[in-house]
A and B are shown apart, each in its own frame.
Chain A
Amino acid sequence: MIKVNHSLCTLCEICVGVCPFSALMREDDKIVVLDTCRLCKICLKHCPENALSLEVTASRSEHNLADYSGVLVVAECSGDSVHPVTYELIGKGRELADKAGEKLSCVVIGHDIADICDQLLEYGVDRCYAVDYPELAQMRVEPYTNALEEVSLKIKPSIVLLAATPTGRTLAPRLATRLRTGLTADCTTLEVRNGSELVQIRPAFGGNIMAQIVTPKHRPQLATMRYKVMEPAVKERKPDARVETLQLLANQLESKAQVVKSRRKPPEESISDAEIIVAAGRGVRSEQSLAMVAELAALLGGQLGVTRPLVENGWADYTRQIGLSGRTVRPKLLITCGISGAVQFTASITGAETVVAINSDENAPIFKNAHYGLVGDLNEIVPALIDGLREV
């Protein structure tokens, strides 16, 4: 923790002002460190008297790093299908393992999973561990955690990658806690240095800042990774790639939870959760043009959004309205068509990851909020996009 040397401290309170976590406070004639301290060490750099220092004590539970090697990817499956994020985990895992000069393994948990295991062997893993029992047919936290613990203890990986999906985000902390090791959620960048030391970057405060996080003394290093962030694995079969079966004991398969019923979710209805949105504004001058924009949205696997004038025209439902008087959206991709970019609209799209704006007026304010600004007539561009997408 941060220690204050009170004989050096002049109570200038510079540290109080620079602390990003409001963790330093003046209490009478002393600077005190509060529980909100995250040990970011920024105060150390700013103290003119060098009165602050970091007291580091080795954790009692630290692990012998030399015992751990390789990357383990936890495959995400439901029934007999593999979630596509699994290929991204394998792609990243292969890259990290190659840089560290170590092996890449994956583990598949479920029932009747032989085909899935064979399929994953084609994507560059050295070993695929199968944990195959009827009790594992549906995701139940306790036996799934037991399976992950077994494979971790058996192969002692240096790095374990899981998907930042609802399932991955419920299993990863369970496994990290059982192994008493570090876990970083929703990583957007992963790299290795000095062998297999994992450098993890993740967004914090809703993406307003990024944090770089390491797990220096504990193994394995666990990270979850968002879907559609990394490159998927390329098809290649390693010469000695093979499946190994892992056994669990009867008590490891027990659970205090029973899945009574499971049903596929209906397709997304709310534009608030949509990953891709194509939005139409006042520049879309007819219902036929709007239908064209809607078709583009459908071809991209996304949702149609609109601005207020189109709702007032009666062309679209209120539930599709983006703006301060409508909904806020955080899609991965937003394409605006004929939207000028009034604040009431732009304030509601700040969470969009990639914004493409199509507008014929090159001075439209929307271009200031767009990554890619297309200056042109949407009645020419949108049909050409639709034709192009139909060919794919």
Chain B
Amino acid sequence: MHIVVCIKQVPETRDVAVDEETGVLLRDGVKSIMNPFDLYALEAALRLKEERGGSVSVISMGPPQAEAVIREAYMMGADRGYLLTDRAFAGADTLATAFTLAQGIDKIGEADLIVCGLQTTDGDTAQVGPGIAEMLRIPHESNVIAITGVTDSGLRLERDSGDSLDTVDVAFPCLITVTKAIGEPRLLSFRRKLETADYPVVYWSLGDLGENEDSLYGLKGSPTQVERIFSPPTQSDQEMWRGSGSELAQRLLSKLSDLRFVGGMRHD
């Protein structure tokens, strides 16, 4: 069985602020790490490999520095790593990112299963995984919390659909996105670090992919555009209330009703 895991390098912290005057993101000296959900995706893939045999490839799109997360994946147990890096990929939204990764996965070839983290901590969209599945025209399941069975032809899994938990059988080839419930990722192995120090990382640029038309990648291939970024409204609207117990309670109830925490929720 051949499993491909999609991973991404993200800033370590989400505690970024915006300079009010310039609109510039402040994140001095913030380190980069592997997207936390991707560690769980890789863990799920490695457990399947241990059970069924086969191999695990990891793929990432990003600048050359993103090689660090592929090295990290090697230390957890991945067999091969691919980095899609090209100036033409810059400015990609989720559609162009899904297209680029799908091109890379297509070139790796013969994937029975593709595993992605539910979402990244810098984008929070959860859109790239399903996008890749659609580009490849294979089925996918999001929010997978457990893999309860695996055969030569497919997986049995549990998905969290919000209001319900569903048991789903899905046939290979397919893509899943996993939550942290899937199982704690293993620690990096020092032995693996030594063993994999000379593992190559395969670099692919636009010219290496099946589709070379650059208008499908990066900004040119991105339907959405970020017009501006700004700080969320601050708590300058803070209010202090004084009065008797019943006055304060009445005032709070009417505020909770305005904010729709109380009453008027149901229509059926």
A-to-B contact residues, CB < 8 Å: 1-2, 18, 20-23, 33-40, 42, 46, 56-57, 59-61, 78, 81-84, 87, 119, 123, 138-139, 141-142, 145, 165-167, 169-174, 176-178, 180-186, 199, 203-218, 228, 232, 255-265, 276, 300, 332-333, 354, 356, 358, 362, 367, 370-377, 379-385, 387-389, 392
How far does the Cβ of A305 sit from chain B's closest Cβ, in whole Å?
16
Question: Would you call B131 and A209 a contact (CB within 8 A)?
Answer: no
Q: Pick the contact of A177: B130, B174, B240, B244 (CB < 8 A).
A: B130
The answer to whether A141 and B218 have CB atoms under 8 Å apart is no
**B138 CB to closest chain A CB, in angstroms?**
8
Query: Which among B47-55, B193-201, B226-234 touches the partner chain?
Result: B226-234
> Which of chain A's residues have a CB closer than 8 A to the CB of B17?
208-209
Residue of B nearest to A145 (CB): B134
Instruction: Give A43 Cβ to nearest chain B Cβ, in Å.
Output: 10
User: Given A182-B93, A356-B252, is A259 in contact with B168 using a C-beta cutoff of 8 Å?
Assistant: yes
List 19 extra interface pairs beyond A177-B98, A208-B14, A259-B167, CB under 8 A.
Answer: A1-B91, A2-B90, A35-B86, A36-B90, A42-B24, A139-B166, A169-B126, A174-B134, A184-B224, A205-B14, A213-B227, A215-B225, A232-B267, A257-B139, A257-B170, A258-B170, A367-B238, A371-B238, A389-B262
B22: chain A residues within 8 A (beta carbon): 18, 42, 46
Indicate if the CB atoms of A166 and B249 lie closer than 8 Å: no
Q: Are B241 and A206 in contact (CB under 8 A)?
A: no
- What residue of chain A has the Cβ atom nearest to residue B225's Cβ? A214
Tell me whether B248 and A381 are in contact (CB under 8 A).
Answer: yes
Q: Known interface pairs A276-B261, A381-B248. Does A257 touch B229 (Cβ–Cβ under 8 Å)?
A: no
- Give the residue of B25, B134, B139 whose beta carbon is less than 8 angstroms from that of A255: B139
B253 contacts A262, C-beta separation under 8 Å: no
- Count of B residues near A, CB < 8 Å? 106
Cα distance A214–B170 when bound, in Å? 35
- How far, in whole Å, are A228 and B235 apart by their CA atoms in the complex? 20
Question: Is the CB–CB distance between B134 and A210 below 8 Å?
Answer: no
- Min Cβ gap A173→B in Å is 4
A260 lies within 8 A of B168 (CB): yes
- Please measure, in the bound complex, the distance between the C-alpha atom of A56 and the C-alpha atom of B22, giving whole angstroms: 24
- What are 29 residue pairs bridging A and B, where the CB atoms are less than 8 Å apart in the complex? A36-B63, A39-B91, A39-B219, A39-B226, A57-B215, A57-B220, A59-B221, A141-B140, A145-B134, A166-B143, A167-B161, A173-B129, A173-B131, A184-B224, A185-B124, A185-B126, A186-B124, A204-B122, A205-B11, A209-B16, A210-B229, A212-B226, A260-B156, A263-B165, A265-B160, A300-B261, A362-B242, A370-B238, A380-B245
B152 on interface, CB distance cutoff 8 Å = no
Q: How far is the CB of A261 from chain B (nearest CB, A)?
A: 4
Cβ of A71 to closest chain B Cβ, rounded Å: 18
Q: Which 6 A/B pairs are nearest by Cβ-Cβ distance?
A: A380-B245, A20-B25, A182-B223, A384-B249, A206-B14, A177-B134
Q: Which residues of B contact A139 (CB under 8 A)?
A: 161, 166
- In the complex, are the beta carbons of B223 and A374 less than 8 A apart? no
Q: What's the A-B contact tally at a CB cutoff of 8 Å?
A: 317
- Asked whether B191 is an interface residue with its Cβ less than 8 Å from the other chain, the reply is no
Q: What distance in Å separates the Cβ of A136 from its nearest Cβ neighbour in chain B?
A: 15
Residues of A near B228 (CB, < 8 A) are 40, 211-212
Contacts of A170 in B (CB 8 A): 126, 130, 140-143
Check A259–B166 contact: CB distance below 8 A. yes
Out of B167, B237, B243, B268, name the residue touching A119 (CB < 8 Å).
Answer: B268
Q: Given the complex, which residues of B lie within 8 Å of A205, measured CB to CB?
A: 11, 14, 16, 121-122
Chief secondary structure at chain B's binding surface: mixed
Tell me the nearest residue of chain B to A199, going by C-beta.
B227
- Does B3 count as interface, using CB distance less than 8 angstroms? no
Quick one: which of B93, B216, B227, B240 contacts A375, CB cutoff 8 A? B240
Please report the C-alpha to C-alpha distance between residue A376 and residue B156 in the assembled complex, in whole angstroms: 55
| Residues of B with C-beta under 8 A to A356 | 252
Q: Which residues of A contact B143 (CB under 8 A)?
A: 166, 170
Q: Does B259 sit within 8 A of A, measured CB to CB?
A: yes
Give CA–CA (A33, B91) in the complex, Å.
11
Q: B147 in the interface, Cβ–Cβ < 8 Å?
A: no
Complexed CA–CA distance, A356 and B255 (Å): 10
Bitwise, B87-109 to A at CB < 8 A (1) or not (0) is 11111011100100000000000
Q: Which residues of B contact A34 (CB under 8 A)?
A: 63, 90
Select from chain A the residue with minimum beta-carbon distance to B23: A42
In the assembled complex, B256 has its CB within 8 A of some CB on chain A:
yes
CA distance A186 to B124 in the complex (A): 9
Please give the distance in Å from B109's CB to the nearest CB on chain A: 20
| Interchain CA distance A1-B231 in the complex, whole Å | 25
**Which residues between 33 and 69 of chain B lie within 8 Å of chain A, taking CB atoms?**
61-63
B169 touches A33 (CB 8 A): no
A374 close to B241 (CB less than 8 A): yes
B250 CB contact (under 8 Å) in A61, A258, A372, A388: A388
Is the Cβ of A261 less than 8 Å from the Cβ of B167? yes
Cβ-defined partner of A261 (8 Å) among B98, B142, B166, B221: B166
Q: Of all chain B residues, which has the CB nearest A367?
A: B240
Given contacts A183-B127, A208-B17, contact A87 B161 (CB under 8 A): no
CA distance A242 to B164 in the complex (A): 31
Chain A neighbourhood of B230, CB < 8 A:
209-210, 212
A380 neighbours in B (Cβ, 8 Å): 244-246, 249
Roughly how many angstroms separate A205 CA and B166 CA in the complex, as a whole number? Answer: 30
Chain B: CB-nearest residue to A231: B260
